[in-house]
Amino acid sequence: MARILALFLTVVLALGACAAPPPPEPQLGPDGRPLPKVYRIRAGDVSKIEYRMLDSVNSLREAAGRAPVALNAKLNAAAATHSRDMSVQNRPWHFGSDGSSPIDRIRRVGYEGELVGENISETYETELETLAAWMDEEDTRRVILSPDARQMGFAWLQEDNGKIWWTLVMGE
C-alpha cells in the first residue's frame, strides 16, 4: 500500500511539474490599460514584413474594389531614406531635414511615375497595427485606397529603444 501511495504521489508531482505557470500579470500604464510591448524587428524579418504589409494593403484595396499594388524597389528606397531622416530629426513629418518633399525623394531615387501620397508614423507598434491606425484616418486611408496607385514603397527604421519610424509611399 505504501508503494502505491508513493507511486501515486510521484505521478501527481510529475504532472504538476508539467503544468505551465500562470501568465504574468500585464503591467498597467497611468490610464489603467496594459503597457505596450516593444516590437523588435530582426534583420531576417525585412522581406516578411514588406510582404505582410503588401498583402494587407492589397486585401484592403480588393475589399474597396481597387486594383492591387506592387512593391517597387525605388519607392522602398525613398521610404527608407525618409524613415532614417525622421529618426534623425526626431519628428514625424513629410519634409526631409534638407527641406525635401515626398516628390523630391521619389525623383532622387529615379522613380518616374507620379506620387500618389506618403503615410508616416512614429510608434512602437507593428506594421499591421500601424496600417490599422492609417485606415482609421481619412487622409492616410485615401492614400492607401487611391484608385490611381499602382506601386508601393514601404520601409522603416527602428531605434535602439524600440521606436519605429514607418514610411509608406504610393505611386502611379
Q: Is the pLDDT of residue 23 over 80?
A: no
- Over residues 113-119, mean pLDDT: 98
Domains of the chain: 48-171 (3.40.33.10)
User: What was the pLDDT predicted at 157?
Assistant: 96
User: What was the pLDDT predicted at 46?
Assistant: 84
DSSP, residue by residue, 111-155: --S-EEEEEEEEESS-HHHHHHHHHTSHHHHHHHT-TT--EEEEE
Q: Who has greater pLDDT, 138 or 28?
A: 138
Give the E-state strand segments of 40-114 in sequence order. Answer: 70-71
Q: Is the pLDDT of residue 84 over 70?
A: yes
Q: Who has greater pLDDT, 56 or 2?
A: 56
Confidence band, pLDDT 50/70/90 cuts, at residue 140: very high
pLDDT tens digits, 95-112: 998 999 999 999 999 999
User: What was the pLDDT predicted at 156?
Assistant: 96
User: What was the pLDDT predicted at 153?
Assistant: 98
d(CA 82, CA 120) in angstroms, rounded, equals 9
- Over residues 24-41, mean pLDDT: 73
Confidence band, pLDDT 50/70/90 cuts, at residue 3: low
Q: What does pTM read for this prediction?
A: 0.78
- How far is C-alpha 131 from the chain's CA centre? 7
Q: Which residue reads 522603416 in cell numbers?
A: 156
User: What was the pLDDT predicted at 22?
Assistant: 59
Counting residues of the chain whose pLDDT is more than 90, the rounded percentage is 70
Sheet order of strands, 70-71 included:
70-71, 151-158, 164-171, 115-123
d(CA 139, CA 165) in angstroms, rounded, equals 19
Counting residues of the chain whose pLDDT is more than 70, the rounded percentage is 84
